[in-house]
Amino acid sequence: MRRRGLHIITAGLLTYSPDDRYRVLHPANTDEWTLHIRHAQPGDGGWYECQVNSDPKITTPVLLIVRDKNLEDPFYLHDLAADDNNTTVRIEGAHERYIQRGSILAITCTVDHKGRAGPSQVAWYQGATRLHYDSPRGGIALQTEKSLSRTVSRLKLSAVTPTDSGRYSCRPDTGGFASVTLHVQTDQPRAAVQQSGHNASISPSLSLRLALLLLLLTHLLAHTHR
């Protein structure tokens, strides 16, 4: 069963979930029962429970985490575990960003610590790699501002390249965790007409061609009526 909503997925060899990605595997003449989930998605993450209807009942909880295999992040679990009413960690803006190659990346991490001392430092990571002023990448700027109830840490990367794509995380030493996923695009910025999907503008050369064509059609129509 799944703990969220107390949803029963399988009982014996029967599957009760309307999602056909779930099934139970039970090799004959064995005591092994395996819950099989095809094409796992982030929404499948959470606590599951295997129950044996004995007396007393036997249960075994299992935590499933669905993660991107391309983003090896040892602090991924903090996304699930960070739950403190007195301290919150958040990254300003969207948590998935697209930026053009050569641009400057700026990420702001805010730590609210009402009623308690703030962090002495906020560490930044790209995946599992901690970022420093003297990191091999270069072009890294870190800035921290502190007040009685809030600590703000800012990360800046100059002239980003595709190798800068990935998961960026801020982690104060008092606990908590926040992250953002960056995608560095190599294509040139497209015109507004392509970004919006509508023909919002016409280039000057095209306007001139249309004007000449309209003039020619008007002349031909006038000549025909004569």
Residue 225: per-residue pLDDT: 57
Q: Is residue 70 part of a domain?
A: no
- Considering the domain architecture, whether residues 91 and 175 belong to the same structural domain is answered as yes
Domain containing residue 54: 4-64
Residue 134: per-residue pLDDT: 78
Question: How far lies 186's CA from each of 33, 100, 106, 136, 155, in Å?
Answer: 48, 6, 18, 22, 22
pLDDT in tens, 97-142: 898 999 999 999 998 887 677 788 888 998 888 888 777 888 899 9
Residue 83: per-residue pLDDT: 40
**Predicted TM-score (pTM) of this structure:** 0.49
- Considering the domain architecture, whether residues 42 and 121 belong to the same structural domain is answered as no
Residue 222: per-residue pLDDT: 66
Alpha helices in the chain (DSSP H): 78-81, 192-196, 204-225
CA-to-CA distance for 197 and 21, rounded, in angstroms?
35
